[in-house]
């Protein structure tokens, strides 16, 4: 089936349906099995350079005397269990540089937080365009982030450069709705909630119970499928967290917000097996574009993925 | 407000002079615009020896002044824990507090690892009793 469609796409450039079919859902995502494929393995290298922080009131503060650079090498992959149901996961290896006033600059390498996920395709878009059918793709998502990276409270170096993870579990449940307005243009909305259980922090002065706030995520994407080889997308993401609590007492104004804008371009080196994706992400450079974020700054990434049919 | 600023200025310039209590201070409020933090009992006050102290990330050595309504207070011990309540973490460095006399303490190895809202959680032993102070610090 897929080979026939590919052949169609290769033989007639107008066979946009086939193009979309093989570029459709999973576009711009890492380690997620794409449409018409059975499995995927990928590796991604990203670099983030912090430029600013946002305080509680949402005022953007350029970083003074602080340098925070993160290089993340992520390997991941996924496989279909049934045609509609897949499992996937990713393992980040992080290299972090921190330079602060009065401290020796420090570079640390370590495992970040491993993510495992599953998704179920509940509704299928015929990808014939909105004039033919209103049905979108609907994916139901569940993700768990494991605290495999060193937790903030477990740091052993003065700069905290060895803090590789969030310190706790996060269970994310979400829905991803993708609609091909035409066979070449799609809009994607991904909404999810993240649940973060409380955990005990063992500190020199005794145990403290810390409950991070719950999370809401929203990801909007416009996807353009140019051909079997080229596709790209524009992204806007938001992540909001509620107030944390310490020993059962809410920490006032401890919630946070982070929004980012991004763009990606994917090129299929060998259709439909090998593809390479370049992406950039930017944080707002205006006040109130985020709140309570210690380090924000642009990210550039390059991803290579191999799929199996 | 202006009175309190003057009082604080007096504390800076005349460390041995009495730092008067301000009657307008609402009870239970721990932190004021002028950088003075009250102990949880409300009987003692602590402030950094710097107007508008707004540290950056990194390692700092700062002097703090401990007092009550009558003036400087001698503590037999002082500990400081930097804490980021929003994130549930402190820093790996343990601050060292040195008694400089006349209610003055010099705190070194005070390390902030990220910008944002931090707290300095002080415990001062005064006449055998432990007084706790929670001083909010905005790190740039
Ligand atoms: Cu923090």
Domain extent listing, chain B? 29-139
Q: What is the pLDDT of residue A1?
A: 43
pLDDT of residue A26: 60
pTM score of the predicted model: 0.84
Contact status of B60 with chain A (Cβ, < 8 Å): yes
B132 touches chain A (CB under 8 A): no
Q: Is the pLDDT of residue B89 over 90?
A: yes
A2-308 folds as Porin (2.40.160)
Measuring CA to CA, which residue among A173, A172, A154, A174 is closest to residue A164?
A: A154
CB contact under 8 A, B89 and A155: yes
Mean pLDDT of B116-137: 95
Chain B residues 40-59 with CB within 8 Å of chain A: 56-59
Q: B29-139, what's its fold?
A: Immunoglobulin-like (2.60.40)
B32 pLDDT exceeds 90? no
pLDDT of B51 reads 80
Q: Does A108 touch chain B (CB under 8 A)?
A: no
Q: Which stretches of chain A drop beneath a pLDDT of 50?
A: 1-14
Do B85 and A244 lie within an 8 Å CB cutoff? yes
Q: Assign B22 a pLDDT band (cuts: 50, 70, 90).
A: very low
Where is average pLDDT lowest: A200-204, A284-288, B24-28, B45-49?
B24-28
Q: How far is the CA of A138 from the centre of ligand 1 (A)?
A: 36
Residue B26 touches chain A, beta carbons under 8 Å: no
Q: At A92, which helix (H) or strand (E)?
A: strand A85-100
Kindly state whether B77 is in contact with chain A, defined as any CB-CB distance less than 8 angstroms: no
Question: What is the share, in percent, of chain B residues with pLDDT greater than 90?
Answer: 66
pLDDT at B24: 38
Instruction: Report helix, strand and coil shares of chain A as percent, to nearest 5.
Output: 5, 55, 35
Instruction: For chain A, give every domain's residue range.
Output: 2-308
Q: Is some CB atom of chain A closer than 8 A to the CB atom of B92?
A: yes
Q: From the list B92, B93, B115, which residue is nearest A294 (CB)? A: B115
**Residue B28 has what pLDDT?**
39
Which H/E stretch holds residue A280? strand A274-282
* pLDDT tens-digit series, residues A248-299: 999 999 999 999 999 999 998 988 889 999 999 999 999 999 999 999 999 9
Question: Residue A286: what pLDDT?
Answer: 95
Distance A126 CA to ligand 1 centre (A): 46
Task: Choose from B57, B82, B110, B122 for mutation: most chain A CBs within 10 A.
Answer: B57
B70 touches chain A (CB under 8 A): no
* Chain B environment of A251 (Cβ under 8 Å): 85-86
For residue B7, what pLDDT is reported?
40
Residues 9-28 of A with CB under 8 A from B: none
Predicted local distance difference test score (pLDDT) of residue A236: 97
CB A87 within 8 A of CB A81: yes
Residue B130 touches partner A, C-beta closer than 8 Å: no
| CA–CA distance, B80 with B49 (Å, rounded to integer) | 16
Please report the pLDDT score of residue A65 as a whole number. Answer: 84
The answer on pLDDT for B112 being more than 70 is: yes
Cα separation, A280 vs A235, in Å, equals 10
Interface probe with B: pick from A62, A70, A149, A160, most Cβ of B within 10 Å: A160
Is pLDDT of B29 > 90?
A: no
Q: Judging by beta carbons within 10 Å of its beta carbon (0-12, 13-18, 19+), is residue B53 exposed, middle or buried?
A: middle
Decide if B85 touches A, using CB distance below 8 A. Answer: yes
Write down the pLDDT at residue B50.
84
Ligand 1 centroid – CA A48 distance (Å): 18
In A, minimum Cα distance to B88 occurs at: A210
| pLDDT score, position B10 | 40
Q: Do B56 and A251 touch (CB under 8 A)?
A: no
C-alpha B67/C-alpha A276 separation (Å) is: 64
Rounded to the nearest 10°, the torsion over CA B19, B25, B28, B31 is: -70
Average pLDDT rounded to a whole number, residues B99-123: 95
B103 C-alpha to ligand 1 centroid (Å): 31
B128 contacts chain A (CB < 8 A): no
Min Cα–Cα distance to chain B from A165, Å:
12
Query: Which letter does DSSP use for residue A163 in this model?
Result: -
Please report the pLDDT score of residue A37 as a whole number. 87
């Amino acid at each position: 089936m897929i080979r026939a469609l590919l052949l169609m796409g290769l033989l007639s450039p107008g066979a946009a349906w086939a193009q979309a079919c093989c570029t459709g859902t999973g576009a711009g995502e890492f380690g997620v099995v794409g449409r018409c494929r059975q499995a995927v393995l990928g590796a991604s290298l990203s670099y983030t350079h912090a430029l600013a922080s946002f305080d509680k009131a949402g005022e953007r503060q350029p970083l003074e005397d602080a340098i925070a650079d993160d290089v993340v090498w992520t390997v991941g992959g996924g496989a279909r269990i049934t045609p509609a149901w897949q499992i996937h996961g990713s393992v980040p290896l992080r290299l972090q540089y921190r330079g602060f006033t009065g401290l020796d600059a420090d570079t640390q390498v370590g495992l970040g937080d491993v993510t495992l996920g599953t998704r179920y395709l509940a509704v299928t878009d015929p990808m014939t365009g909105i004039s033919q059918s209103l049905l979108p793709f609907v994916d139901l998502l569940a993700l768990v982030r494991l605290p495999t990276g060193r937790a903030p409270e477990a740091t052993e170096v003065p700069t905290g450069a060895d803090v590789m993870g969030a310190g706790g579990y996060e269970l994310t449940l979400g829905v991803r709705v993708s609609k091909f307005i035409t066979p070449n243009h799609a809009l994607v909305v991904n909404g999810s909630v993240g649940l973060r259980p409380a955990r005990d922090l063992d500190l020199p002065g005794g145990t403290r119970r810390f409950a991070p706030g719950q999370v809401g995520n929203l990801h909007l994407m416009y996807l353009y499928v140019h051909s079997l080889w080229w596709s790209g997308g524009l992204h806007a993401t938001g992540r909001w967290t509620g107030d944390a609590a310490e020993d059962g007492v809410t920490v006032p104004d401890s919630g946070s917000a982070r929004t980012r804008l991004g763009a990606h371009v994917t090129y299929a080196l060998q259709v439909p097996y090998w593809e390479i994706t370049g992406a950039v992400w930017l944080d707002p450079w205006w006040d109130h574009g985020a709140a309570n974020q210690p380090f924000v700054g642009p990210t550039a990434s390059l991803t290579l993925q191999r799929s199996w049919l | 407000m202006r009175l309190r600023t003057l009082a604080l200025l007096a504390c800076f310039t005349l460390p041995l002079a009495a730092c008067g209590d301000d009657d307008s201070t609402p009870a239970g409020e721990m932190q004021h615009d002028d950088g003075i933090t009250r102990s949880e009992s409300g009987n003692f006050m602590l402030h950094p020896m710097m107007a508008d102290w707004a540290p950056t990330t990194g390692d700092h050595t700062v002097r703090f002044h401990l007092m009550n309504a009558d003036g400087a207070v001698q503590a037999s011990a002082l500990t400081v824990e930097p804490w980021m309540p929003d994130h549930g973490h402190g820093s790996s460095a343990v601050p060292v507090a040195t008694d400089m006399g006349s209610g003055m303490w010099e705190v070194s190895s005070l390390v902030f690892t990220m910008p944002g809202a931090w707290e300095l959680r002080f415990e001062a032993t005064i006449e055998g009793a432990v007084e706790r102070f929670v001083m909010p610090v905005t790190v740039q």
